[in-house]
Amino acid sequence: YGLAFIAFTYLVINGASNAVNLTDGLDGLAIMPVVMVAAALGVFAYLSGDVRFADYLHIPYVAYSSELVVICSAMVGAGLAFLWFNAHPAEVFMGDVGARALGAMLGT
């Protein structure tokens, strides 16, 4: 896979980062999809990291994938806390650094 995998990974991370950055135009528009996607990825990581759930749902068991639940739940918690101040009328704006960082975290 080598070089093709590196190029594909670069495109996915950069694409997700730019997608979140482009949606950060209105109050709360960027953070809610990030929270929803992070919550869904956290649920998937939890289910695939548990042998019983993976066997019951007929999905592949991935060892140590349940550690991603910590990162996803941190993103959900931080996103909901940020949404409190970013909802209309917005007191805080995420900016490029926050939007690109959250998009890159979702891309990886």
Residue predicted with more confidence, 25 or 80: 80
pLDDT of residue 48: 96
**HEC readout, the chain:** CHHHHHHHHHHHHHHHHHHHHHHCCCCCCCHHHHHHHHHHHHHHHHHHHCHHHHHHHCCCCCCCHHHHHHHHHHHHHHHHHHHHHHCCCCCCCCHHHHHHHHHHHHHC
- Give per-residue pLDDT as tens, 14-70: 999 999 999 988 888 899 999 999 999 999 999 999 999 999 999 999 999 989 999
For residue 7, what are the contacts with CB-CB under 8 A and spacing of at least 6?
none
Q: What residues are designated binding site?
A: 21, 96
* 69-93 mean pLDDT: 93
* 90-106 mean pLDDT: 91
Q: Please state the domain count of the chain.
A: 1
**Cβ distance 16 to 76 under 8 Å?**
no
pLDDT at 1 over 80: no
pLDDT of residue 77: 97
pLDDT of residue 90: 85
Convert 4-26 to b/e letters by CB count within 10 Å (16 or more is b).
Answer: eeeeeeeeebeebbeebbebbee
Q: What residues are designated binding site for Mg(2+)?
A: 21, 96
pLDDT of residue 61: 97
Q: Output the pTM of the full model.
A: 0.89
pLDDT of residue 24: 87
- Rounded Cα distance between 25 and 91, Å, is 14
Q: Which domain does 79 fall in, by range?
A: 2-107
* 3-18 mean pLDDT: 95
